[in-house]
Chain A
Amino acid sequence: MRFLKMDMRAATVAAALTASFGLAAAPADAKVEGDTIILGAAMSLTGKYSTNGIDTQNGYELAVDMINKNGGVKVGGKSYKFKVAYYDDESTPARGAQLAERLINQDGVKYMLGPYSSGLTKAIAPVTEKYKIPMIEAEGASRSLFTQGYRYMFAVLSTSEQYLASSVALAAELAEASGKKASDVKVAMAFENDPFSLDVRAGVVEDAKKHGMNIVIDDKLPRDLADMTSTLTKVKALKPDLLVISGHAKGAVTAGRQISEMKLDVPMIAMTHCESAKITENFGAGPMEGILCPTQWSETLSYKDDLFGTAGEYDALFKKTYPSYKTVPYQAAQASAALQVWKDAFERANSFDTEALRDAIAATDMETFYGRIKFAPEGNNIAKPMVLRQIQGGEYLVVAPTKWASSKVQHPRQPKY
């Protein structure tokens, strides 16, 4: 890594020098060096996204390693290796956009991988679009990314409005099964006031409206989130049938602790980031029993491919390669899947031309350990569903959608405070 960074710095200096001597011509042609295909990525290695940024980087690196070890990428009868050039974007969008320009303009990168988070992807996508450089991203879930008419950006993950919408559908299903009307369901919402969570909220609002549900609480949580007492007091007063919460790990930590402290008896609670907040470890399996958590991917699913094998085998390989992980974050899994899409596209296009590659990516339809990948014309993956897991006895068990469910949903939830 360090070595690669030095390389890049030298290239930058060289580019700057050429430019300053007025010899500036086309940027250095570094897309393919010998038998190596260079992909570029701005990555949050420091700053507030650093943990997830490093997860993503590990996912990229694991896939690069596996692909290179298993025959590489075959283009025109020759086998090539992948290599990723990273810059640290400090978790700030403005920096990310600058670095994308630098990768494309100064370092001559022609194939991009996405950064971590929707915010950074939002900043970088206009740049790659401008230079007509294809980018496969794995971590930007915001729906607004796919309404801008971007031609060169593709995402392997499900968009964020689907995160908790499935819990609304589940609530409607359960209400009807018990002989009530879906429109009788009262929904309470607590979302952090940031782009990601508000996107998740939009999906919930849309689905709740579709079922004619009544939204009784709609609180936005501040970014310096440490206390939800006032929101949860409101929940106790209004007794909703469904409580949905999203606010990254800090939202899940705060909610988990205070749900347990206030002994909330809402029959159905759904929230994001349960796993990264480690709510069962922190607050005990009993109080957290029955909470629903959406996830992009789970190691218990029956997806598989030729490179990594099943989802479970990927899980084992990742833990073996990076022993510091006790559970594999889905962020890493989807990052690995992005490289599988690149390999597939290079081999089908059988060319290094960015236009041919773009068309090949757009036509992708493949099974991976991460799920099926097939892109809508807007660039998002429409073939892979979000799955909803429920905490039952301290384990995360898949309960929805029915096709992948490994166990029955527990309703109403039976926490042991």
Chain B
Amino acid sequence: MSARSLDLKIYAFLIAVGIIGPLLVPSITSQMAVMWLMVLMAVTWDMTGGQMGYNSLGNITFFGLGMYASAVVQIGLVYDVMEYTASFGAIKVDFTVSQYWTGLVLGIGAGGAVATVFALVVGPFMLGLRGPYFAIGTLGLAVAVAELISGWRYVGGGSGISMPIFPGEAGTGSIVFYVMFFVLAIVCHMVIRAVYRTRFGLAINAIRDDEDKAEAMGIHTTRYKVMAWAISAFFMGMAGAIFGNMSGFIEPLEVAFPTATFGIFMVAMALLGGKGTLWGPVLGAILFHIVKEVTWTELLGWQWVALGAIIILNIVYFQQGILGWAQDRWPALFGVTVDEKMSRTGQAEAAE
């Protein structure tokens, strides 16, 4: 079985699950919507974290910026944003159905665009940082942006913004947002898979393996790094815009910039599934989400302690992740050809 046909089969399987799941069990639609969001987050994180070796702890910034951009666009189309936020939700704006849908589409587009522009602007600076400094810097960036937005009165500051209410029957809203997340996650994975197969993919892998050598070979490392981060940002921004509409109420520190939950989940999921592999983040995200949904409420507070423990165990004892482990075990299955002799000399060298 070639890698290509395997990929196609996995896509077919995921799409089937995505369509049949909510049809069979309609009550889990919103849980499944969040699952696709998790997949998207893990896959976009892995693009810089796994494939390029730049471990960001602040990708959640793009999510929050996208969410706020869409809120401003959607409300601004119909009403004065300043007046709306100054009233702390006391003003109820009635959107007509067509206003709602134009707003939603434009808002999601604006979410992606603003996040991308932000990545392009700060990217050259942040991506100049290496190793742990990049991780700490991005974490700092996420916290700083969240704090600044919660002090910015135009977007409601700490009291947040209420989003336009979904028009139409009870329950249809969750289906619409489900479809959006589902399509976005699958498209995102396809785009990123296509990107990996080009020269671009090779370049970012080269940066991961040895950035200085890559630069010496004439690869414009900064340009590639910023582009990769911007692609992640584009999808994260759109996902943020959809999530904001799904939640109905945006608030800076817990809904838009949840650094300690979603921000860390995406890293944990990519690591669990196997970072730097095509399907690892997807597998990790789905497993993580299912386990979380099934066990979470039963643990009564211990779930967060368990999360910390899982991250530690994962990092300390099982760093290559599920697919990484499988790839080491059965390399042929992943289209990796191992020259026994070469790898033995390689090991000998490493032992030196």
What residues of chain A have their CB less than 8 Å away from a CB belonging to chain B? 15-16, 19-20, 22, 24, 45-47, 50, 87-88, 90, 92-94, 97-98, 101-102, 105-106, 119, 122-123, 126, 130-131, 142-144, 147-149, 192-195, 197-199, 202, 220, 222-223
Which of B71-79, B101-109, B159-167, B312-320 is found at the contact surface with chain A?
B159-167
Contacts A19-B26, A93-B247, A195-B160 given: A143-B300 contact, CB under 8 Å?
no
Tell me if B251 and A195 are in contact (CB < 8 A): yes
Interfacial residues of chain B within 232-264, with CB under 8 A of chain A in the complex: 247-249, 251, 253-255
| Number of interface residues, chain B, beta carbon within 8 A | 34
8 Å CB contacts to A: which residues of B167-196?
A: 170-171
For residue A119, which residues in chain B have a CB less than 8 angstroms away from its CB? Answer: 249, 251
How many angstroms between the C-alpha atoms of A122 and B301 in the bound complex?
A: 23
Distance of A341 Cα from B219 Cα, bound (Å): 72
Q: Which of A47, A88, A105, A193 contacts B150 (CB 8 A)?
A: A193
What B residues does A131 contact at CB under 8 A?
170
B3 CB, nearest partner CB in chain A, Å: 34
Q: Which residues of A contact B89 (CB under 8 A)?
A: 122, 142, 144, 147-148
B147 within 8 A of A: yes
Is B92 an interface residue when CB atoms closer than 8 A count as contact?
Answer: yes
The answer on a CB contact under 8 Å between A199 and B88 is yes
Contact of B24 among A20, A94, A97, A123 (CB under 8 A): A20
Q: Does B216 contact A (CB under 8 A)?
A: no
Interfacial chain A residues near B157, Cβ < 8 Å: 193, 198, 220
Most chain A beta carbons < 10 A, residue from B150, B157, B247, B254: B254
A147 touches B249 (CB 8 A): no
Nearest B residue to A131, CB-CB: B170
B158 touches A194 (CB 8 A): yes
Q: Determine the distance from Cα of A20 to Cα of B24 in the docked complex, in whole angstroms.
A: 5
Please count the residue pairs between chain A and chain B whose beta carbons lie under 8 angstroms apart in the complex. Answer: 94
The residue of chain A having its C-beta at the shortest distance from the C-beta of B86 within the complex is A202
* Contacting pair A93 B30 (CB below 8 A): no
| Bound CA–CA A94/B247 (angstroms) | 6
Q: Which residue of chain B is the closest to A202 with respect to CB atoms?
A: B88
**Does B27 reach chain A (CB closer than 8 Å)?**
yes
Contacts of B28 in A (CB 8 A): 16
Given contacts A94-B247, A220-B157, whether A198 and B25 have CB atoms under 8 Å apart is: no
Bound CA span A144–B31, Å? 28
Chain A residues, CB < 8 A from B31:
98
A45 to B: closest C-beta gap in Å: 7
Q: In the complex the two chains form, is B92's CB within 8 Å of A149's CB?
A: yes
- Residues from chain B with a CB closer than 8 A to the CB of A192 are 158
| Bound-complex Cα distance A199 to B90 (A) | 10
Q: Does any Cβ of A come within 8 Å of B343's Cβ?
A: no
Would A106 and B27 count as touching, CB distance under 8 A? yes
Q: Does B151 contact A (CB under 8 A)?
A: yes
Shortest 6 CB-CB distances between A and B: which pairs? A193-B158, A144-B89, A46-B301, A130-B170, A198-B159, A195-B159
CB–CB B248/A126 < 8 A? yes
How far is it, in angstroms, between the C-alpha of A46 and the C-alpha of B296 when the chains are bound?
12
- A93, B92: Cβ atoms under 8 Å? no
- Cross-chain pairs A/B with CB under 8 angstroms, 25 sampled: A19-B24, A19-B25, A20-B24, A22-B24, A46-B300, A88-B297, A88-B300, A90-B297, A93-B247, A93-B249, A93-B254, A98-B30, A122-B162, A122-B249, A123-B249, A142-B88, A144-B90, A193-B158, A195-B159, A197-B158, A198-B88, A198-B157, A199-B88, A220-B157, A223-B253
B91 is an interface residue with CB less than 8 A from chain A: yes
> Least Cβ distance of B178 to chain A in Å?
13
Interface contact A147-B27, CB-CB below 8 Å: no
Q: How far is the CB of A25 from chain B (nearest CB, A)?
A: 12
**Interface hub of A20, A94, A148 (most chain B Cβ within 10 A):** A94
Q: Is the CB of B24 within 8 A of A193?
A: no
Please give me the residue from chain B that is nearest to A161 by CB atom: B88
Residue in contact with B27 in the complex, picked from A90, A105, A195, CB distance below 8 Å: A105
Alpha-carbon distance between A123 and B160 when the two chains are bound, in angstroms: 13
Other-chain contact of B151, A19, A199, A220 (Cβ < 8 Å): A220
Give min CB distance, B238 to chain A, whole Å: 19
Check A24 against B151 for contact (C-beta < 8 Å).
no
Interfacial chain A residues near B162, Cβ < 8 Å: 122, 144
Q: Which residues of B contact A90 (CB under 8 A)?
A: 296-297
Shortest Cβ distance from residue A248 to the other chain B in the assembled complex, whole angstroms = 12
Nearest B residue to A17, CB-CB: B25
Q: Are A45 and B159 in contact (CB under 8 A)?
A: no
> Is A45 within 8 A of B300, CB to CB?
yes
Name the residue of chain B whose CB is nearest to the CB of A9. Answer: B298
Q: Is the CB of B30 within 8 A of A101?
A: yes
- Asked if B249 and A143 sit within 8 Å, CB to CB, the answer is no
Convert B80-111 into 0s and 1s, putting 1 for each residue whose CB lies closer than 8 angstroms to a CB of A.
00000000111110000000000000000000
Provide the residues of chain A in CB contact with B254, threshold 8 Å.
Answer: 92-93
Residue of B nearest to A22 (CB): B24
What is the CB-to-nearest-CB distance from A210 to chain B, in angstroms, rounded to a whole number? Answer: 17
Q: Given A193-B150, A195-B160, A220-B151, A19 and B88 touching (CB < 8 A)?
A: no
**Chain A proximity of B177: nearest CB distance (Å):** 12
A45 CA / B255 CA spacing, docked (Å): 20
In contact, A16 and B25 (Cβ under 8 angstroms): yes
- Using CB atoms, name the residue of chain B closest to A223: B253
Min C-beta distance of A103 to chain B, whole Å: 12
CB neighbours (8 Å) of B248 from chain A are 97, 123, 126
Distance (Å) between the CB of B199 and the closest chain A CB?
41
15 new A-B pairs (CB below 8 Å) besides A106-B27, A195-B88?
A: A16-B25, A20-B24, A88-B297, A90-B296, A105-B27, A119-B249, A122-B89, A126-B165, A143-B90, A144-B88, A147-B90, A193-B151, A198-B157, A220-B151, A223-B150
Closest Cβ of chain B to A121, distance in Å, is: 11
Complex CA gap A205/B25 in Å reads: 49
Instruction: List the B side residues contacting A93 at CB < 8 Å.
Output: 247, 249, 254-255
| Complex CA distance for A198 and B160, rounded to whole angstroms | 10
- How distant is B60 from chain A, measured CB to nearest CB, in Å? 15
Contacts of A202 in B (CB 8 A): 88
In the complex, chain B residues whose CB is within 8 Å of the CB of A24: 26
Give the distance in Å from the alpha carbon of A259 to the alpha carbon of B147 in the complex. 26
A148 touches B92 (CB 8 A): yes
Residues of chain B lying within 8 A (CB to CB) of residue A143: 88, 90
